Structure 1
Amino acid sequence: MTSPRPLRADAARNRARIMTAAHEQITEHGPEVSMEQIAAAASVAVGTLYKHFPNKTDLVAAVVAASFETVADDAENCLQRTNEGAPAMTELTGFLTRLMDTVAHNHAVKAAAYAVNADHTAHPAMQEVETRATHALDQLVRAAQLQGGLRADFTVDDLYLMLSTVPADQPPAARSRWLALLLTGLTAR
C-alpha cells in the first residue's frame, strides 16, 4: 500500500487557508455556514474548496475535530494532574467550567459536544479525538468517585448528556449558576 503523495506547496497553503477560514466561520456562525462563505473568507474559489473537502460534512467534521482536540487535551491534562495528586472533583469542575465557557463562544466545540452526545458513531475525523476525550473523562469520573466527591452512579455518558444541555446562549453568571446547581446534584452524599 502506498502512502498518499504530499500536497504541493500551493495546495497545502490553500488547505491551510480553508481550514483557518472554516474554523473562524464555524466558530462565529455555527456549522450552518455555507461553503461559499467559507471559500470567500479563505480567498479561494469554491471549486478549490471542494477539491480539498468533497462535501460540507467532511469540512465541518475536520474543523470540529480540530476544535475538539483542545477539549481532549484539557481532559487528558486534568487526568494527569489528578494522577499526580490533585483532587479529581476539582479537576472535573475546572474542566467543565472551561468547556462551558468555550462552548459559549465557539460553535465548532458546541457542535462537537452535540455530535459526541448524539451517538457514538462520530464522523471518522472525530473518532480518534472523541476516543481520547472519552477515555480521559471516564478515568477522571472514576477517580472523583473513588475519592468520594462524585455520585457512584454517574457515568461519562451522563457527562456528555450534561454537556449537550449547556446554556451556552446565557450570560456568564447564568452559566456559572447552572453549573453550580448541576454539581450540587452530582456530588456524593
Structure 2
Amino acid sequence: MTTRRPLRADAVRNRARILGAAHEQITARGPEVSMEQIAAASGVAVGTLYKHFPNKTDLVAAVVAASFETVADDAEECLRRSDAGSPAMTEFVAFLTRLMDTTASNHAVKAAAHELNADHSAHPAMRSVETRVTAALSRLIATAQTQGELRGDFGIDDLYLMLSTLPADQPPAARTRWLALLLTGLTAR
C-alpha cells in the first residue's frame, strides 16, 4: 500500500486558486473555456494546472465536488444551530434558500459537467459529502417534525426529489415563489 504525501503549502494554495478560477471561468464562459484560460485566471502556469488536473473533465468534477463540500458544511452548520436552540424549520428553510441560490449560480458548472461527462459522483470526496449532507439534513428534518413544524411523512428522499425539480435556470423571484409553494405543502400546520 502506498501512502500519499500531503501537498506542500504552495501546492495547496495553487490547487485552491485553480478551483476558484475554474468555477469563475466556467460560470462566465461555459464548458468551452480552455485550460489555458483557467490557468491564466488562476495565476499559475499551464503545467501546474495539468499537474493538479490532467484534463478538463477531472477539473470540472473537482469544481462540482468542492461546491458540494460547501453544501455539506452549510447543512452541518444548520444542524449545529438547531441543536443549540434555533428552530429547526427556520434552519431548514434558510438552508433551502441558500441552496437554491448556490444551485442557480452553479448552473453553468453543472452544465459543463454534464457536457463533459464529468462524473462528479465518482469523485472520491463525493461519497463522504453525500453522507454528511444526508446525515445532517435527516436529523434537521426529524427535529423540525418533532417540533411540529414539518409534516411527519416528509423524508430525506422527498427532499432530494424536491431538489431535483429546483428551477435553477429561473430568475430569483420565480425560485422564491417555487420554494414558498413547496413549503406550504410541507409545513405541519
Q: Measure how far apart 1:180 and its partner are.
A: 0.4
2:150 paired with 1:175 = no
Structure 1: runs of 5 or more not aligned: none
Secondary structure (helix, strand or coil) at the match of 1:130 reads helix
What residue number does 2:147 align with?
147
CA gap 1:109/1:132 in 2 versus in 1, 3 angstroms: farther
CA–CA separation in structure 1 for the residues paired with 2:184 and 2:110:
24
AA matched with 2:90: T
CA–CA separation in structure 1 for the residues paired with 2:5 and 2:172:
47
Task: Return 7-16 or 89-98, whichever deviates more.
Answer: 7-16
1:94-140 CA deviation, whole Å, 9 max, x = no partner? 111111122222337867xx9xxxx9954213222222111101111
CA gap 1:143/1:12 in 2 versus in 1, 3 angstroms: closer
AA matched with 1:163: L
Matches within 5 A, 1:64-143: 64-107=64-107, 122-143=122-143
CA–CA separation in structure 1 for the residues paired with 2:177 and 2:22:
32
Q: Measure how far apart 1:49 and its partner are.
A: 2.7
Q: TM-score, normalised by structure 2?
A: 0.78
CA gap 1:72/1:185 in 2 versus in 1, 3 angstroms: same
CA–CA separation in structure 2 for the residues paired with 1:170 and 1:188:
28
CA–CA separation in structure 2 for the residues paired with 1:91 and 1:10:
37
Q: Measure how far apart 1:14 and its partner are.
A: 4.3
Query: Cα RMSD (Å) of the superposition?
Result: 3.0
CA–CA separation in structure 2 for the residues paired with 1:120 and 1:55:
14
Q: Measure how far apart 1:184 and its partner are.
A: 0.8
Structure 2: runs of 5 or more not aligned: none
Secondary structure (helix, strand or coil) at the match of 2:170 reads coil
Task: Return 5-14 or 143-152, whichever deviates more.
Answer: 5-14
Q: Is the 8 A contact 2:71 2:133 kept in 1?
A: yes
What residue number does 1:186 align with?
186
CA–CA separation in structure 2 for the residues paired with 1:120 and 1:158:
22
CA gap 1:110/1:12 in 2 versus in 1, 3 angstroms: closer
Q: Percent identity?
A: 79
